[in-house]
Amino acid sequence: MKLFVYEHCPYCVKARMIFGLKNLPVEVKALLNDDEKTPTSMVGKKVVPILQKQDGSFMPESMDIVQYIDNSDHKPLLTGPISAAVATWLRHVSEYTEKLFIPRFAAAPFEEFATPQARQYFTDKKQAKLGDFKEHLQHSPGLVKKINQDLRDLDKLIQEPNAVNGELSEDDIHLFPVLRSLSIVKGVELPTRVLAYRDNMAKQTQINLLTRLAS
């Protein structure tokens, strides 16, 4: 199987996670961010992640991919409980965290930005939605302070380092990509339980953190 992704993309991280958790082989291929033709030829629109199944057919949508792979051997891993508190926390931080990591993604050496045109395509699209990157970067200190407080709240919700609710569930698939994205932001301070959870989940899923790129 082959998984088409962008390295920075939190939704792509969700799809990648299930392969790591189940220790299943998959070829991960990054598309250039301005390549509209390839994904459109596969699934009719420019989206990632896209899974190319063993029969050659294509499947978009991160959670569809997660559920398909998790159930493909009839031994699902994501059977744990869902927490309303975790969902509420994720909704809350989603209101502002993109302003922290999207401008930093735009400057990072990801494969999807291997050409100047691809990087500019991403920058133009995201600034049209989020606003000026330079302005967001100037406001980073306030947003870092805010996320650090919110991470202290998250710390109280972490039950085990290998699963936020004590047993692997879809909450883990939603939470880890946010923490991974935040690893590109300098000054973000993870409390003890959140740090242990993030680092353990990175190891379990075999997905690299972005700390070496932090700015």
The number of domains in the chain is 2
Q: Looking at the structure, tell me whether residues 58 and 156 fall in a common domain.
A: no
Look at residue 79 and tell me if it is in a domain: no
The edge-to-edge listing of strands for the beta sheet with 50-52 is 27-30, 2-5, 50-52, 58-60
Q: What tens digit of pLDDT does each residue of 123-180 get?
A: 999 999 999 999 999 999 999 999 999 999 999 999 999 999 999 999 999 999 999 9
CA distance 86 to 157: 7
Query: pTM higher than 0.75 for the full model?
Result: yes
Locus of tokens 């569930």: 169
Give tens-digit pLDDT for 90-124: 999 999 999 999 999 999 999 999 999 999 999 99
Q: Which residues pair with 29 in a beta bridge?
A: 4
Residue-range definition of the domain harbouring residue 46: 2-71
Q: Does residue 205 share a domain with residue 164?
A: yes
Query: pLDDT tens, 23-74?
Result: 999 999 999 999 999 999 999 999 999 999 999 999 999 999 999 999 999 9
81, amino acid identity: P
Count other C-beta atoms under 10 Å from residue 110's C-beta. 20
Q: Contact at 8 Å (CB) between 147 and 188?
A: yes
Nearest 5 degrees, angle CA 28-CA 32-CA 35? 115
Residue 124 sits in a domain whose CATH number is: 1.20.1050.10
Residue 22 belongs to domain with CATH number:
3.40.30.10
